[in-house]
Amino acid sequence: MAITLKVNGTAHTLDIEPEMPLLWALRDELGLTGTKFGCGVAACGACTVYVDGVATRTCVTPVEAVDGAEIVTIEGLAATSGAAEGMLAPVQQAWIDAQVPQCGYCQSGMLMAVSALLAENPQPTDEDIDAAITNVCRCGTYPRVRAAIRSVTAA
Amino acid sequence: MAMEFKKPSRRQFLIGGSVGVAVGGGLLLGYAVSGPSRRELAEGAAAEGGERFVTTWLKISPDNVVTVYVPHSDMGQGTITALAMMAAEEMEADWSLVRAEQAPAEKAFANEALGNRFLAGEDVPPMLKGLNAAAWTKVAQFMNMQITGGSMAVRYTGHHGMRVTGAAAKDMLVKAAATRWGVSPSDCVAALSIVTGPNGQSATYGELAADAAEYAPSAAPVLKSKKDYTIVGTARPRFDIPGKVNGTAKYGIDAEVPGMLYAAPKLAPVFGSTVVSYDASEILSRRGVKQVVEFPGGVAVIADNYWRAKEAAAALDVTFDTKGGETVSSESIFAGHDAAIATGESEEDKVIGDAASAFAAQGADIVEASYRVPYLAHACMEPMNCTVWIRDGKADVWVGVQDALGTRARVADISGIDFDNVKVHPMLLGGGFGRRIPIREGFFNFPSEIDFATIVAKEVGAPVKFIYTREDDIQHDAYRIASSSRLRVALDGKGLPTAWENIYVHKDEPGEAPHIPYAIPNQSIRFVEVENHVPRGPWRSVAHTQHTFFNESFIDELAHRAGADPYEYRRALLEGQPRHQAVLDLAAQKAGWGKPLAEGRFHGIAVQQSFGSIVAEVAEISVTDGAVRVHRVTAAVDCGEVIHPDTAAQQVESGIIYGLTAALYGEIAIEGGAVAQTNFTDYEMLHLSETPVIDVHFIESGAPIGGLGEPATPVVSAAVGNGVYAATGKRIRQLPLKNHDLTPTPGKLAQAAD
């Protein structure tokens, strides 16, 4: 079945099963490996991307559900944020400034989830952050994640 | 260990090659036991036009860039940056011109400093001690190690390797400049990657590199004083972070090889099972499915997309012979622990004085308690994976591991391909925590995804990326052992122990983990071994995780029983242990120990030395509706010296969160011979919303550098459990906390004020 995935501004027409999770279409069909496989059951958030601006866990999202939607992955986050060519999104820069990642594997999903939260709610309360950022990080970067979010919202 | 190895002298250790080999005119500074061959090997492996290695670990290119090759993997603990800082500091390099990367999986970059520390008899991590004599012969012969674990990169490779090699490189560069200018080396100064002469001459390291490589590294270069440090002790941005925020960082699971296929296994749920039969006819007709390959304990489905492989593997009906393993359960395992402890037939671990007489003394107040912890999975965020391509008698391997050279040897063994024809391409690790140590005889000896991927790749005429699902990862780990401990003390009239007895299950590494720092005159620490079919392996802080919980909770029991403050009680028993007392004091002071807390908040405290560092933690907790909430953890850490203050603090935060997750939720249960948990849904993780404020304080005591990747982990479970006692009067003797009903019963809270 032909599915059109519009990813980071480029449309790709793929002949794939409609039930294939978006995660595997991105990784194995389009080679966009910045989006990570963590659990396969939407429990950890490592695979989070934007679908029409909404943070979405792609490991349980069949491609047929996002046919034609605007998908943004970590590879396209900077461009979507309006950053100049070669520059990072403010949230990504905040992540570097606060030296957030450790192993880094969960951070693509973490950044997508945080970016989506801040797009919708630029001044979140701590409770808003707690409720929205349910991504799992085994290295325990959570204190830095919160600090980096605060460095952006305080601006 | 049956065999003895000659201890190399410091001189032997530092004698480099006589002459560096010109590979296009760069420089490699030789830090080599084995003469010039090592530098040649390194240059062959990693130098390109114009670049030279000054040691096997330092490369200088003509444009004056220094590249530090670090023989460890960076799992986010900041090793690569920290070790580069240590080399650059001694080398007087301009930090803006320093790069660092993981060394290739070549013998030239094996970790000699580590092997030499082992041979010198120093406290080394369990993955080394577990090697049997035969394996050690090989290690001694080739120094075939790039192990990352045991919190040892900074304290061994950094301190004994990078610092010395950096200083030796500087000396060689200065000599080269002095010779060029016809002046004395003592009249030349090296700073910021430039050597300056007495008459205003100057040359960059890049300009001097080729000449410098002609000199042997000095046998005993003089190291800088701490007061002169400009790089060490500062928080330099980590090299690995930019790629981790823009999606370009490549982990093992991201390996891309043209023509690559994907493999998903169907693994036998019950450990030790064998494959009896399976019918692949249905799945072989599915779109994209190429073939199935059997391996010991499972069947892999090969497809052109991982999802297709995974779905087909899930649908594949395999009959396994469980070999009787299905009768094993957590219940039967713990019953086995209790029975073994009860027999009284145990082996000696550590004995001081005469505990038996102290227990038998008239009027002795004897207190006994039994503690227990379950198995734990590592649950690295990146599910286990390994990409292997076998063709023409050669193997290429793409994987993120805690020992790239060990992996290379393992793949050679499994595939039957000569070591020299196996190439490992080290990838980033999405978490390690001890899980990504390749197989070691006698310590971590269980069939893993690296073996399976290799077996599968031999049968497939293409590169194959073999990936575990999260369920595979949770159910086929090498687990932190389930352990039990029966603790007993005899108390004097003041409630202080005159004798301490511990009989625990499984002697694990590090060997000193069950020992206590407290001044108790009579001690009998013994263990029993109970075998079962559950694979075990090193888990962050290894044996310290269970023993710190056992010992530091029991000491807390004794303090309360004596009517003493748990902090003061420990302090009194730590007479003669000034470093322990200092971290205890600092943690207590910073946490406001003994001062009034907000209503419903309580403190628990614990202290432990592990991997050369001493950590005290105070947990501030509350119990609401029967559930524990940890609000703040205050940690005081004496790691001797801090190299990178920011990553040091991060490692303590990380260790606390890892340990706290286990304390609150961690439980792998065995049912019907298999792991009952499946995914993050039932093997629960701490989330951001539950993360306490973590307040970290360092003491730089000047003691030998201690590790930081692990020491913060074991302390937190006892600190939290002790806080729960303060809050509820309920003593936590088994983890995880989620299994305890902490709903207050009338009178209990009043008791908590004791």
Is the pLDDT reported for residue B107 higher than 80? no
Looking at per-residue pLDDT, the higher value among B538 and B277 belongs to B277
pLDDT for residue B72 = 80
Is the pLDDT reported for residue B633 higher than 80? yes
Q: Which helix (H) or strand (E) holds B108?
A: none
Q: B305–A24: do the CB atoms touch at under 8 Å?
A: yes
Residue type, B537: G
Q: A99–B241: do the CB atoms touch at under 8 Å?
A: yes
Stretch among B2-6, B156-160, B374-378, B537-541 having the lowest mean pLDDT: B2-6
Within 13 A of B516's CA, how many CA atoms are on the CB side?
30
Stretch among B54-68, B198-212, B352-366, B378-392 having the lowest mean pLDDT: B54-68
**Contact A30/B at CB under 8 A:** no
Q: What is the mean pLDDT of chain B?
A: 87
pLDDT for residue B154 = 78
Is the pLDDT reported for residue B66 higher than 90? yes
Q: Which two tokens stand for residue A43?
A: 């429990």
Residues of chain A neighbouring B654 (CB-CB closer than 8 A): 102, 139-141
pLDDT for residue A154 = 77
Mean pLDDT of B614-628: 96
Within 13 A of B535's CA, how many CA atoms are on the CB side?
24
Looking at per-residue pLDDT, the higher value among B635 and B165 belongs to B635
Nearest C-alpha in A relative to B261: A28
Is the pLDDT reported for residue B578 higher than 80? yes
Cis peptide preceding B510, ω within 30 of 0 = yes
**Contact A83/B at CB under 8 A:** no
Is the pLDDT reported for residue B210 higher than 80? yes
Class of domain A2-74: alpha beta
Q: Which two tokens stand for residue B73?
A: 């993997």
Contact B377, B668 (CB under 8 A): yes
Mean pLDDT of B632-639: 98
Cis peptide preceding B736, ω within 30 of 0 = yes
CA distances to A143, B30, B42, B97 from B176, in Å: 48, 15, 21, 20
Angle between helix axes B713-728 and B544-561 (nearest 10 degrees) is 30
**pLDDT level of residue B746 (50, 70, 90 thresholds):** low
CA distances to B355, B357, B461, B511, B739 from B361, in Å: 10, 6, 74, 30, 38
In angstroms, rounded to a whole number, what is the distance separating the alpha carbons of residues B627 and B485?
25
The DSSP-derived string for B420-465 is GGEEEEE-B-S--TTTTPPP-TTTS-S--HHHHHHHHHHHSSS-EE
In angstroms, rounded to a whole number, what is the distance separating the alpha carbons of residues B280 and B290?
11
Mean pLDDT of B16-25: 26
Stretch among B103-117, B503-517, B586-600 having the lowest mean pLDDT: B103-117
Q: Which helix (H) or strand (E) holds B728?
A: helix B713-728
Our CA-based measurement puts residue A67 at a distance from the nearest CA of chain B, in whole angstroms, of 18
In angstroms, rounded to a whole number, what is the distance separating the alpha carbons of residues B361 and B489?
12
**pLDDT level of residue A151 (50, 70, 90 thresholds):** very high
Is the pLDDT reported for residue B7 higher than 70? no
pLDDT for residue B162 = 85
pLDDT for residue B11 = 23
Pairs of CB atoms within 8 A across A/B: 183
Mean pLDDT of B309-325: 97
Stretch among B71-80, B269-278, B573-582 having the lowest mean pLDDT: B71-80
Is the pLDDT reported for residue B58 higher than 50? yes
Q: What is the largest CA-CA distance in chain A?
A: 47
Three-point CA angle B566, B569, B574, nearest 5° = 125
Residues of chain B neighbouring A102 (CB-CB closer than 8 A): 75-78, 650, 654
Determine phi and psi for B497, rounding to 5 degrees: -70, 135
In angstroms, rounded to a whole number, what is the distance separating the alpha carbons of residues B527 and B534?
19
In three-state secondary structure terms, A56 is strand
**pLDDT > 70: percent of chain B:** 84
pLDDT for residue B105 = 74
| Residue of A60, A64, A139, A149 to mutate, testing the B interface (most B Cβ within 10 Å of its Cβ) | A139
Is the pLDDT reported for residue B177 higher than 70? yes
pLDDT for residue B405 = 81
Selecting from B305, B469, B687 the residue whose C-beta is nearest the C-beta of A40 gives: B469
Closest CA to B254 of B470, B471, B435, B465: B465
CA distances to B26, B304, B531, B538 from B377, in Å: 46, 30, 19, 10
**pLDDT > 90: percent of chain B:** 72
Mean pLDDT of B113-142: 46
**Would you tell me which residues 220-239 of chain B have a C-beta closer than 8 angstroms to some C-beta of chain A?**
235, 237-238
Selecting from B246, B650, B653 the residue whose C-beta is nearest the C-beta of A74 gives: B246
Determine phi and psi for B170, rounding to 5 degrees: -60, -45
pLDDT for residue B509 = 83
Q: Which two tokens stand for residue B740?
A: 């305890």
In angstroms, rounded to a whole number, what is the distance separating the alpha carbons of residues B690 and B219?
53
In angstroms, rounded to a whole number, what is the distance separating the alpha carbons of residues B446 and B468?
16
Mean pLDDT of B120-133: 47
What would be the CATH architecture of the domain defined by A78-152?
Orthogonal Bundle (1.10)
Size of chain A in residues: 155
Pairing state between β B289-295 and B298-303: antiparallel
Contact B324, B272 (CB under 8 A): no
Instruction: Give Rg (Cα) of chain A.
Output: 15
Place of tokens 């290690």: B139
Nearest C-alpha in A relative to B428: A103
Q: B654–A141: do the CB atoms touch at under 8 Å?
A: yes
| Residue of A30, A91, A105 to mutate, testing the B interface (most B Cβ within 10 Å of its Cβ) | A105
Selecting from B246, B685, B693 the residue whose C-beta is nearest the C-beta of A78 gives: B246
pLDDT for residue B745 = 63
Residues of chain B neighbouring A77 (CB-CB closer than 8 A): 246-247
Q: Which domains does chain B have, with CATH numbers?
A: 36-224 (3.30.365.10), 252-322+384-467 (3.30.365.10), 544-739 (3.30.365.10)
Is the pLDDT reported for residue B130 higher than 50? no
Stretch among A21-25, B409-413, B708-712 having the lowest mean pLDDT: B409-413
**pLDDT level of residue B216 (50, 70, 90 thresholds):** confident
Stretch among B427-436, B562-571, B690-699, B718-727 having the lowest mean pLDDT: B427-436
Contact B191, B172 (CB under 8 A): no
In angstroms, rounded to a whole number, what is the distance separating the alpha carbons of residues B33 and B215?
15
What interface predicted TM-score (ipTM) does this complex get? 0.98
In angstroms, rounded to a whole number, what is the distance separating the alpha carbons of residues B535 and B271?
8
pLDDT for residue B41 = 60
Our CA-based measurement puts residue A22 at a distance from the nearest CA of chain B, in whole angstroms, of 10
In angstroms, rounded to a whole number, what is the distance separating the alpha carbons of residues B480 and B710?
14
Residues of chain A neighbouring B237 (CB-CB closer than 8 A): 96, 99
CA distances to B182, B424, B437, B446 from B406, in Å: 47, 10, 8, 15
Pairing state between β B27-28 and B298-303: unpaired
Domain boundaries, chain A: 2-74, 78-152
Q: Which two tokens stand for residue B645?
A: 């203050």
Place of tokens 């079962």: B532
**pLDDT level of residue B441 (50, 70, 90 thresholds):** low
Burial of B589 (0-12, 13-18, 19+ CB in 10 A): middle
Looking at per-residue pLDDT, the higher value among B666 and B53 belongs to B666
In angstroms, rounded to a whole number, what is the distance separating the alpha carbons of residues B13 and B30?
11
In three-state secondary structure terms, A96 is helix
Contact B601, B621 (CB under 8 A): yes
Contact B677, B476 (CB under 8 A): no
**Contact A29/B at CB under 8 A:** yes
In angstroms, rounded to a whole number, what is the distance separating the alpha carbons of residues B335 and B446?
24
In three-state secondary structure terms, B552 is helix
Nearest C-alpha in B relative to A146: B688
